[in-house]
Amino acid sequence: MNDWYLSNIVLVQSTFTTLLLALSVQIPMRMGVFSFAGIGAYGIGGYVAAMCMVHREWTTVPAIVAGTLAAGIATFLLGLVVQRLTGLYMGMATIAFTLIVAVLAVNGGEWTGGASGLFGALGDITTGLIIGCAVVVVVLLQFTEMGGLGRRIDTVREDPELANAMGINVARYRRLSFLASGLVGGLAGALVTLLRSTITPDLVNFHLVVLALTVIVVGGSGSWIGALIGSLIFVWLPTWLVFIGEWEEIVYGVIVALAAIFLPSGVLGVAKNLWHRFRTRDERARLKAGGGTPAGETGDAGGRGLVPSVEGEA
Amino acid sequence: MTTRAQSDARPADRGPGQVLMEIRDAAVHFGGVKAVDGISMTLEAGKIYGVLGPNGSGKSTLLGAVTRLTPLTRGEVVFDSVDYTRRPAHHVHRLGIARTFQTVRLLEDRTVRDNILLGQDTLARASRKELAGAAEDVMERLDIREYARMRPDELSYGMQRRVEFARAIVGKPKLLLLDEPTAGMNSAEREEVGALMRQLLDEGLTQFIVEHDVQMMVDTCDYLFAMNFGKLIAEGLPQDVVRHEAVQEAYLGKRGRKHA
Amino acid sequence: MQDLLNAATLGSIYLLFTLGMALAWGTIGILNFAHGATFMFSAFVAHVLSRETPLPFLAAVAISVVVGALMSVATQVLAFQQIIKRAKSQHHAELRILIGGIGVAAIPLAIAQRETKSSPFGINSDYTATVFEFAGLRLSSTALVILIAGLGIGIGLTVWLRRSRQGLALRALGVDAETSAGMGVNRQVMAIGTMAVAGALAGLAGALLTFHLSAIAPETGDQLIIKAFAIVVLGGLGSMAGAVIGSYVLAGTETLVLVAGHGTWVDAVSFGLIFLILLVRPQGLLGRKEVRRT
């Protein structure tokens, strides 16, 4: 076990950093905010952490904290500016933000190391630290997926007008999703940068956006579990299916296309559906049989309301 | 044709006659269209009010204005002595105003129980403690308890409507706004909705219903308003409003006959 | 002045590329992320075919055009139509089409990268560009073709959309798909036709750019997609004239920035444009007014 661990340590680390990166996009998406700013946050977090280390000789943890906070604040401010955009347009504006971060990095002169980036920012990053951070984030997210908060978030995503009518401050939830995505993305960026000790502008690019999106789409965008499933698949697929080797990219492309067509809620969505169908098999059988419910208090003779999914009579 | 239950016999919680809501000279203008053009209404606690009007009369817009989903171009809305004209939409719910929608708006991926619980999620913690079990009660009452774990798309239209109703009343609101609640229902279902409304009134829930179906309104409401072209054209007791000239014109055209 | 000419040529390339995307997006509402891959792969096929024997200019272009059309149609039929069939709502479908397009785009990219080992590739041809010199300006014949093709097709398409019956049908689809379908506009057929034209334009742009620069890289397509976004956003969704104007404005601005010595900020022009326009005037210069905002 130890041997396996040591020889696969990079993949293990990669799984969790990819998870954090994916979460930075999944969190706002779960609220119906189609924002890729988390990837830009990744870049900001990485650069700020590296700059703290290289220019100010900070140690690991303060640098990570600085990177995370800087990214969180920047992304939150971005959120304030773009919060009224919807769907595709929000997506484009946030992709533009991400790419602008890269351009700023190239033009940052000595601060950011210009086109060659920064190097020598070697942090004391253990796998334990990475996993620890991921676990903390996941635990916090789990709280947001349960109970009332989970319900409210789902409502904000599915039907913002309904959410307002139910007393939910939709605008505030959306703004906070930007903050959360910035913090998580920044954390991912800081960790990866200090792990590899370098960061360059071309690391913050469109392909990172595609990676995060792919992970979420295939795994399932409804929950952090989906992001984990997606991360596992994409980080470990080449290892499990060695013969894929050079066809890796093509296989990824095909998987994403197939998922977009057939699995809109990802692997997780399929699993949840199966679980639901299993749990409610009695109720559904009853409904199908078209009877058996005791008459309602108002003397209803049954039959009404028991015909499944009929469109309302006009 | 069912007659109204004898609701006047039992006074509502809030002291009948107390003014619950006031709409003062409300207007909603979109571009060049005056969807609501100077409407004033006073609603007392302990009654069921109805707004009658043909399509395009502005009644749904009025509902939107009252719930702050649509901004008011002019006028005020006051609830329980609180002027909430400038408050954001999400404050309306915690004032004690609940609503249902014209189309069924339930969360497709959530169970019936979760959908109903949503109706009291944003209420103050103390209230929620009191309300523990309220979801179960409400489901029991609307006869949907055994479908608590199902998802909306697995239920018939009528049942979905019941879930929506449950969600609206689970938080024990002071005022319930109903937007065409019987759309798509047959007459047996309509009667049920009417009966449920009278029962809720007995328990102290003031209601305000926007509807097309004249008969249902006459049977269920204590007081009717009639709208056309964004203005109030009549108000009063249902049987009087229905016979009013302007109302007949609006619904039946200039040569309308008397309503049966 | 030479810069102006270069900018115009660049703008024409942008235009040819963007027209395809803008056409599909603005009429049938399909934002095809694989458009860049189509652009690149069409030229790539011409490259592969030209390895053995050099291809004449026209043949190479023709091959590229046909491959482009085929690719886009295949994407439409095999991916996008399948998504549309299964989607719950317009909104859901859009996102899934976007993602599906991203997935599809990875495939030609990977193939091309493998074959060329990620280095630029050109089209082997006997054609060599003649360079015209006049009034101190230099213009290659390729650039001339690009300019004429860009402007010609750009203006032609704009006029066709406005004047012809099919154009009207397409624009109706763009404004309200369901009503148009109800009035007899055959969505599926028009969609396939539109995608074919879009793909053909991508192929045309691909071949021309490859000749113009002597080689393009497998990644060039993806880089162009973002610029196309910026152009459509600037010009306004649904407006071909907007795409024409936007293309030249972007190319002009980028050239200006380059010439002023800020070469590293060139890309920021398109990103910044996207950002700015969406916030300040979301419908762009000539677009339809209903860009959705909460």
Q: Which of B121, C277, C22 has its CA nearest to residue A150?
A: B121
Asked if the Cβ–Cβ distance from C110 to A253 is below 8 Å, we say yes
- Average pLDDT (B240-250) is 83
Beta strand ranges found along chain B (DSSP E): 19-30, 33-44, 48-52, 74-79, 82-83, 97-99, 175-179, 206-211, 223-228, 231-236
Asked if the Cβ–Cβ distance from A261 to C79 is below 8 Å, we say yes
B180 and B259 inside one domain: yes
Check if C276 contacts A (Cβ < 8 Å): no
pLDDT band per the 50, 70, 90 thresholds, residue B142: confident
Q: Which of B126, B146, B171 is the last residue of a domain?
A: B171
Q: Which residue has the tokens 């071909």?
A: C240
Percent of chain C with pLDDT over 90: 30
Lowest mean pLDDT among A50-59, A219-228, C166-175: C166-175
Contact A224, A266 (CB under 8 A): no
B101 falls within a domain? no
A251 falls within a domain? no
pLDDT band per the 50, 70, 90 thresholds, residue B157: confident
| Per-residue pLDDT tens over the stretch B97-112 | 999 998 899 998 899 9
Give Cβ neighbours of residue C3 (< 8 Å, ≥ 6 apart): C255, C256, C259
- Whole-angstrom CA distances from A236 to A11, A133, A256, A311, B194 are 7, 21, 16, 46, 60
**Total structural domains within chain A:** 1
B61 falls within a domain? yes
B75 and B186 inside one domain: yes
A87 falls within a domain? yes
**For C107, which of A89, A253, A261 is closest by C-beta distance?**
A253
Contact C247, C255 (CB under 8 A): no
* Minimal C-alpha gap between A121 and chain C (Å): 25
Q: Is the pLDDT at A113 greater than 50, yes or no?
A: yes
Interface of C with A in 17-46 (CB under 8 A): 31
- Looking at residue B1, what is its pLDDT? 37
Q: Is the pLDDT at C292 greater than 50, yes or no?
A: no
Q: Which of B67, B51, B57 has its CA nearest to residue B34?
A: B57
B88 and B208 inside one domain: yes
A288 falls within a domain? no
Check if C77 contacts A (Cβ < 8 Å): no
Exposed e or buried b per residue across C240-264, where buried means at least 16 C-beta atoms within 10 angstroms of its C-beta: bbbbbbbbbbbbbbbbebbeeeeee
- Average pLDDT (B179-202) is 86
Asked if the Cβ–Cβ distance from A88 to C110 is below 8 Å, we say no
Residue B35's CB is within 10 A of a number of other CB atoms, namely: 21
Total residues belonging to chain C: 294
Q: Which residues of C touch A89 (CB under 8 A)?
A: 278, 282, 291-293
C38: Cα within 13 Å, side-chain hemisphere: 36
B8 falls within a domain? no
- Looking at residue A298, what is its pLDDT? 37
B4 falls within a domain? no
Domain CATH number, residue B23: 3.40.50.300
- Average pLDDT (C265-282) is 86
Q: Which residues of A touch B90 (CB under 8 A)?
A: 163-164, 167-170
- Looking at residue A292, what is its pLDDT? 38
B158: containing domain: 109-171
- Whole-angstrom CA distances from B153 to A165, A270, A284, A287, B185 are 22, 17, 11, 12, 17
3-state helix, strand, coil in chain A (%, to 5): 75, 0, 20
Q: Which of B118, B142, B171 is the last residue of a domain?
A: B171
B69 and B119 inside one domain: no
B245 falls within a domain? yes
Interface of A with C in 229-258 (CB under 8 A): 246-250, 252-258
- Looking at residue C183, what is its pLDDT? 65
B139 falls within a domain? yes
Dist. CA A162–CA A165, nearest whole Å: 5
| Per-residue pLDDT tens over the stretch A170-209 | 999 999 999 999 999 999 999 999 999 899 998 888 888 8
- Average pLDDT (A84-101) is 87
Beta strand ranges found along chain C (DSSP E): 131-134, 137-140
Closest residue in C to A245 (Cα–Cα): C114
Q: Which of C1, C13, C2 has its CA nearest to residue C250?
A: C13
Lowest mean pLDDT among B78-82, B172-176, C260-264: C260-264
A247 falls within a domain? no
**For A93, which of C31, C94, C274 is closest by C-beta distance?**
C274
- Average pLDDT (A17-43) is 94
Lowest mean pLDDT among C95-104, C201-210, C280-289: C280-289
Q: Which residues of A touch C270 (CB under 8 A)?
A: 96
B55 and B160 inside one domain: no
Asked if the Cβ–Cβ distance from A96 to C110 is below 8 Å, we say no
B14 falls within a domain? no
Q: Which of B147, B171, B195 is the last residue of a domain?
A: B171
C2-23 helix and C141-163 helix, angle to the nearest 10 degrees: 40
Asked if the Cβ–Cβ distance from A298 to B88 is below 8 Å, we say no
Q: Is B238 helix (H, G, I), strand (E, B) or coil?
A: helix
| Per-residue pLDDT tens over the stretch C127-153 | 777 777 777 777 888 888 888 888 888
Distance from CA of residue A148 to its chain's centroid? Answer: 21
Select the more confidently predicted residue: C121 or A310: C121
- Average pLDDT (B205-230) is 89
| Per-residue pLDDT tens over the stretch C165-207 | 777 777 777 666 666 666 666 778 888 999 999 999 999 999 9
**Total structural domains within chain B:** 2
Closest residue in B to A163 (Cα–Cα): B90
- Looking at residue B21, what is its pLDDT? 92
Asked if the Cβ–Cβ distance from C96 to A264 is below 8 Å, we say yes
Interface of A with C in 143-162 (CB under 8 A): 160
Contact B45, B201 (CB under 8 A): no
- Looking at residue A64, what is its pLDDT? 94
Residue B254's CB is within 10 A of a number of other CB atoms, namely: 6
B7 falls within a domain? no
Disruptive mutation site among B70, B156, B160 for chain A (greatest number of A CBs within 10 Å)? B156
Burial of A281 (0-12, 13-18, 19+ CB in 10 A): exposed
Q: Which residues of C touch A254 (CB under 8 A)?
A: 103, 107
Q: Which residues of A touch B198 (CB under 8 A)?
A: none
Check if A204 contacts C (Cβ < 8 Å): no
Burial of C88 (0-12, 13-18, 19+ CB in 10 A): exposed
A62: containing domain: 2-204
* Minimal C-alpha gap between A82 and chain C (Å): 7
Beta strand ranges found along A155-220 (DSSP E): 198-199
B178 and B254 inside one domain: yes
Closest residue in C to A201 (Cα–Cα): C264
**For A166, which of B121, B151, B183 is closest by C-beta distance?**
B121
User: Mean of the per-residue pLDDT values for chain A?
Assistant: 85
Dist. CA A256–CA C142, nearest whole Å: 38
Q: Which residues of C touch A253 (CB under 8 A)?
A: 103-107, 109-110
Exposed e or buried b per residue across A94-115, where buried means at least 16 C-beta atoms within 10 angstroms of its C-beta: bbbbbbbbbbbbbbbeeebbbe
